[in-house]
Amino acid sequence: MSEAIEILALCCTGLYAGYMIAFQSGVMPALREADDASFTLVMRAVNRKVPGPLFLLLFLGSLAFPVASCFIAPDGRGGGATVLLSAAATSALVGHTITAVGNIPLNNALESSRGQGDERAARTAFESRWRVLHTVRTLFAVGAFVLTALAAVR
C-alpha cells in the first residue's frame, strides 16, 4: 500500500508540474501573440474547462499523495525521505495557495468582464498578474515533483 501511495505521489506531482510547464512554455507564449479579443476568449474557455476531473485529480493528488506518503512509510525508509516528502507537500501547498488566492480570483474577474465590451481592459487587468502568479506556482509544482522524486530514490 505504501509503495502505491508513493508512486501516486510521484505520478501526480510529475504530471501536474508538466501541465504547469506546458502552460508556461507553450500556451501563454502563444496567447501573448493574440489580439485582446482572442486572448480573453481563449483564457475564459480554458478557465471553464481546466477544472475537470483529470486536472482535479492531479491538482489534489499532487498535495494529498505526498502528505499521505509521510504517514504511510514503507519498511526501511529513512527519515530523510519523510523530510523530503514533507517539503514536497509544503511546496505543493504553497503553489495551491497561490492558485486559490491569486489565479482563481483573476480567472473569475476575467469571466465577469465578459460582454462588457472592453477586452483590452479585461486583458490588462488579468494577464500580467496571472502570468507572474503562474510562474511562481509552476516553480513550486516543479519543486514538489523534484522533492518527491528525491524521496523515491532514498
The secondary structure of 125-145 as a DSSP string is HHHHHHHHHHHHHHHHHHHHH
Answer with the residue of higher pLDDT: 95 or 2. 95
User: Whose grid coordinates read 514503507?
Assistant: 74
Under 8 Å CB-to-CB from 71, ≥6 apart: which residues?
none
Q: Which of 72, 114, 63 is nearest to 90 (CA)?
A: 63
What do you get for the CA distance between the two ends of the chain, in Å? 18
Does residue 1 surpass a pLDDT of 90?
no
Residues 6+ apart with CB under 8 A from 47: 107, 110, 111
The pLDDT value given to residue 28: 97
Phi-psi region of 46 (alpha: psi -120 to 50; beta: other; left: phi over 0): alpha
- The predicted pLDDT at position 145 comes to 98
Rounded CA separation 48/11 (Å): 25
**Between residues 153 and 113, which one has the greater pLDDT?**
113
Asked if 145 and 20 count as a contact pair (C-beta separation under 8 A), the reply is: no
Pull the grid cell for residue 51: 477544472
Q: Which amino acid is at 152?
A: A
In the block, cell 488579468 appears at 126
Local confidence band at 154 (pLDDT 50, 70, 90 cut-offs): confident
Q: Where are the alpha helices (DSSP H) in 23-118?
A: 28-32, 36-49, 53-71, 79-98, 104-112
pLDDT band at 31 (very low <50, low <70, confident <90, very high): very high
CB 81 within 8 A of CB 151: yes
Say what the pTM is: 0.92
**Per-residue pLDDT tens over the stretch 71-120:** 886 555 667 888 999 999 999 999 999 999 999 999 999 999 999 989 99
Q: Tell me what percent of the residues of the chain surpass a pLDDT of 70.
A: 95
> Which pLDDT does position 24 carry in this prediction?
97
